[in-house]
Amino acid sequence: MRYEAPITVNEAVKLLAGKSGIAKVLAGGTDLLVQMKTDRIEPDLVVDVKRIPGMRDIAAKGGGFRIGAAVSSAELGEHKALKKAWPGVVEAANLIGSHQIQGRATIVGNMCNASPAADSVPALVAAGAVAVVAGPKGKRNVPVEKIATGPGKTSLKKGEFVEAILLPKRPPKSGDAYLRFIPRTEMDIAVVGVGVNLTLDAKGVCTAARVGLGAVAAQVLLVPEAAKALIGTKVDAAALDELAAACSAACRPIDDRRGTKEFRIKVAGVLARRAAAIALKRARGK
């Protein structure tokens, strides 16, 4: 294996595109090094992107935020403005692993590892976050929900890597939230995860919403029907019932040792309802 730590994006792309064997991007390494240790992957080349300027920065951009690929979850949790604007995204990222893992794990890595149960991804999908993909043909912006195509698989092409996540500008009276179910009280893999993001008008009517569902399909799902259940309502009990039904209906889960299909379908609805209530409170400024 070769280790390279380029200092420009172009250099990183050239390295990733030029290698014939398995080339992997290293940011926090909390998935990659485990996969290497357990022989699930034997890379010929590891490209550490942490030395590229901007990769470790959270920057205000276009009224929103640009989060570099190597920003750790701990750093997200310490960024007051980000936490205020996107509490759901930050709380989702902060659920991943222990303090030790938080010090290294990144949301870009969480997304590119393409686990259906990745905690930060439903929150990012709900937020309408966009991945900035750099590659041999230049840069392209890809909605987060289009990155993972199945467990461990992404839509990234040879030579491409994600250099940042963009979070959009926040309209007034907006709130987001992420909830997951795990059998333990912490440090576990989501059996179901739900991200809800909504915006209210002056009268308290929901004008925009997005809902992301994790661990209930081969990849994290954006559920437009769930958003429709909220838009145009005051997010009252009837709307929450419809939201829960839409989320349960969108699930295409598997049975595994952490949860059955029936359980996941039911819990997706329950958590969506609870996450929406928290997002609503936050949108109202409480």
User: Which one, of 269, 265, 266, lies nearest residue 253 by Cα?
Assistant: 265
The string of DSSP letters for 178-233 reads EEEE-SSSSS---SEEEEEEEEE-TTS-EEEEEEEEESSSSS-EE-HHHHHHHTTS
* Residue count, binding to another protein (CB under 8 A): 26
> Among 94-102, 168-176, 226-234, 271-279, which window interacts with another protein (CB under 8 A)?
94-102
Q: Is 254 in the site for another protein (CB under 8 A)?
A: no
Q: Nearer to another protein by C-beta: 170 or 180?
A: 180
Q: Nearer to another protein by C-beta: 47 or 130?
A: 47
**Cα 63 from Cα 187, distance rounded (Å):** 33
Q: Nearer to another protein by C-beta: 70 or 244?
A: 70
Among 3, 21, 81, 249, binds another protein (CB under 8 A): 3
User: Which one, of 54, 74, 51, lies nearest residue 65 by Cα?
Assistant: 54
**How far lies 8's CA from each of 39, 45, 259, in Å?**
30, 17, 44
The contact pattern for another protein, residues 30-69, with x = CB under 8 A and - = no contact, is x--xx-xxx-------x-x-x-------------------
Q: Is 141 in the site for another protein (CB under 8 A)?
A: no
Q: Is 5 in the site for another protein (CB under 8 A)?
A: yes
The contact pattern for another protein, residues 100-139, with x = CB under 8 A and - = no contact, is xx-xx-----------------------------------
Under a CB-based contact definition with an 8 Å cutoff, are residues 247 and 226 in contact? yes
- To another protein, the closest distance from the beta carbon of 100 in angstroms equals 4
**Cα 225 from Cα 270, distance rounded (Å):** 16
Among 7, 187, 238, 249, binds another protein (CB under 8 A): 187
Q: Quick one: CA torsion of 136, 115, 24, 93, rounded to 10 degrees?
A: 90
Tokens of 104: 């290294």
Angle between helices 237-250 and 261-283 (to 10 degrees): 140
- To another protein, the closest distance from the beta carbon of 104 in angstroms equals 5
Kindly list the residues in this chain that would bind another protein in the complex (CB under 8 A).
1-3, 5, 26, 29-30, 33-34, 36-38, 46, 48, 50, 72, 74, 97-101, 103-104, 186-187
